[in-house]
Structure 1
Amino acid sequence: EPLMTRLFEHRFRGGALDGHAFGNLFIASLVGVTGDLEQAVKETSKVLNIRGRVLPTTVRDVVLVADLEDGRVVEGESQIPAARGRIRRVRLRPPEIAPLPEVLAAIAAADLILLGPGSLYTSVIPNLLVRGVADAIRAARGLRVYVCNVMTQPGETDGFTAADHVRALEAHAGPGLFTHVLVNTQAPQNRALLARYAAEGSHPVAPALAELEAMGLVAVGAPLVSEEEVLRHDPVRLARAVLDLWVAATGRPRRPRRRPRRARRAPAARRSPTGTAPGTHRPGETVPP
């Protein structure tokens, strides 16, 4: 539901919770209640009535650390963008973190693997730093697609093009991670929204399609942005673009949508001379074949 989606994506501004996402706090609270991250994710899926499975990359306690170009070292997902420094690299502490075996199995069996959209350095890349995950994605036989963000994120991707996003991914996880890049090519037109984002240091991500192609990737551009209240991916457009890309790349036809069956109206029952409605029978009467 739109309200629940907005709620779980909401980030607090100011105070002790500044920068924290409600969704993360909700899961953290469930971890406190259940005592287990994997169980907390399962319970979240039940609460939100999620179809499919949601798997945490790892259930180990880990700290995200960023090395900034100015020499500073910043710890914590919310603290990294707040430092407002150009990020040189992010890493996990401790570095050798084992993934859930189910995660590697799901990657190997997947027909389609999507990375993103999401915060590049604090959401997408950290999953690739868990031991074996990047190699599993590279070895997967399914289609591997990176969905690039539509807007830059202050303190993380200031001034980044789509090609810069890919370079950052490859710097952390190595080349050959994905085969396709899906980027937004629709320039937002809502001036009020653009001005609000610009005041916070966020701007549309330039598609850089030619540069992506020069990097050996299949770059697919499409109008993907939604301009209702916030500038982000339109979920319907994005889903359609992903399906179209998958069909074009694999040659498999898209499954037709199932239309709900309409209940047939029973004909009006007219009384017959024998006292029963047409198509009905008295108890004990033989029904003709």
Structure 2
Amino acid sequence: MDIIDGPKVVVIGGGTGQSIFLRGLKQLTENITAVVAVTDDGGGSGKLREDLGMLPPGDIRNCIIALADIEPEMKKVMQYRFPDGEYKGQSFGNLFIAALNGVYGSFEKAISKISQILAVKGKVLPVSADNLRLYAELENGNIVKGEAQIPLECIRQRSGIKRVFLDVQEPKALDEVVDAISCADIIVIGPGSLYTSIVPNILIPQLKNAILQSNALKVYVCNIMTQPGETDGFDVLKHVEAIFAHSCPGLFNYVIVNNGCIPSEYIEKYKNDNASLVGLDKRQTELLREKNVRVITGDFVKVKKGYIRHDAYKLASLIIDLFQGVNQGEKGI
């Protein structure tokens, strides 16, 4: 299969997991649309959002770099963070997007221009042009404002998340995002932080409805490890149930779960940070089947610089193979 003629894939999420996955996916198809959450309000992105009134550029920058056809040295420049002064901790790529946003007076136009400059394969789109803030209602009844504060407050208050919600009652998805979903062959949700990268996208009714109406293969990639303050004690079933509770049952038909072996020293390292493997057992598999969700397991793990990540190429290859297999089945092959 020529990657230029590869299937049309929409990847919905945000955070590190999404950009890592895109690096593997672009080796198999160039028909990629990355849909990125816009609720980030921490770090350099949060500062630019507060100072300039623009959408947060950080996760979008990472996706653009993941799909860009540029030399490694240029990627280093785009990811360079200033060590001192007023811009300490801020990345050059964020400032570049901010400058383009100022020149063209539009965040979407800025993303389009930087994508042209960096020869991006596919498209990177903010899920919405609305200035959205994420809130969480904790199990103790308290409300937390701001994506960056949610896991911190969960830890401080020793309370899990009951639900998350946006500060805009009828947020609108970008038209290009809806169009991409309607034309997609494959829709991938994740990998990424459950409540702060994935759910904020599906809280937008237009996006949720577009996914439901699509005939594409719909896949959720479950995280390998839990996240402190966000998914403590969560297994695969709880991840799926949380997504369905914030959208509706049937949003996807497959969940991909890693069952590859991870060296014990890395498990211990994560345990020291109050994170653990996202578990799966026979009972969960049966309950998911009752929800019309098929579990697909495999060795998709990769340890890089001490961090447990998905092997992006293996994961992307499985999803493309799954799509081809389903299509062949429909054609009676």
Name the structure 1 match of 2:327. 250
Of residues 62-71 and 26-35 in structure 1, the stretch that sits farther from structure 2 once superposed is: 26-35
In structure 1, distance between residues paired with 2:142 and 2:151 = 13
SS in 2 for 1:227: strand
After TM superposition, the structure 1 = structure 2 runs for residues 86-235 of structure 1, keeping only pairs within 5 Å, are: 86-189=160-263, 191-208=264-281, 209-229=285-305, 230-235=307-312
Q: Which moved more, 1:180-189 or 1:113-122?
A: 180-189
Q: C-alpha distance in 2, partners of 1:160/1:137?
A: 25
Query: Would you say the 8 A contact 2:226–2:275 is kept in 1?
Result: yes
Query: Which residue of the partner structure matches residue 107 of structure 2?
Result: 37
| 1:213-242 CA-partner distances (Å, limit 9, x unpaired) | 232211111111112321010111111111
Which residue of structure 1 aligns with residue 151 of structure 2? 81
1:181–1:70: structure 2 CA closer, same or farther, 3 Å change rule? same
Q: CA RMSD in A?
A: 2.7
Question: Cα offset for 1:47?
Answer: 5.9
Q: How many residues align?
A: 241
User: What is the CA–CA distance in structure 1 between the aligned matches of 2:217 and 2:247, rounded to whole Å?
Assistant: 18
Given residue 205 of structure 1, which amino acid in structure 2 is its aligned partner? Answer: V
| Contact 1:19/1:78 (<8 A) preserved | no
Structure 1 residue 30 displacement after superposition: 4.7
Which shifted more, 180-189 or 33-42? 33-42
Larger radius of gyration: 1
Equivalent pair of 2:250/2:292 in contact (CA under 8 Å): no
* Residues 22/193 of structure 1: CA separation in 2 closer, same or farther (3 Å cut): farther
Q: In structure 2, what is the equivalent of residue 269 of structure 1?
A: none
- Return closer, same or farther for 1:167/1:236 CA change in 2, 3 Å cut-off: same
Matched with 1:23 is: 58
The residue correspondences of 1:263-278 to structure 2 (distance < 5 A) are none
- For 2:124 and 2:207, the matched residues in 1 are separated by 16
Change (3 A) 1:29 1:135: same
Higher relative contact order (CA 8 A, sep 6+): 2
SS of 2:147's partner is coil
* Large movers: runs of 4+ above 6 Å: 18-22
Q: Distance in 1 between matches of 2:135 and 2:118?
A: 31
TM-score normalised by L of structure 1: 0.75
Gaps of at least 5 residues in structure 2 are 1-15, 21-41, 47-55, 60-89
Q: Which amino acid aligns with 1:226?
A: K
* Structure 1 residue ranges without an equivalent (≥5): 10-15, 253-289
**Secondary structure of 1:232's partner?**
strand
The percentage of aligned residue pairs carrying the same residue is 36
Q: TM-score, normalised by structure 2?
A: 0.66
Q: Is the 8 A contact 1:180 1:220 kept in 2?
A: yes
Paired residues of 1:30 and 1:40 also in contact (CA < 8 A) = no
Query: In 2 relative to 1, CA 222–141 (structure 1 residues): closer, same or farther, beyond 3 Å?
Result: same
- Counterparts of 1:108 and 1:38 in 2: how far apart (Å)? 20
How far has the Cα of 1:89 moved from its partner? 0.5
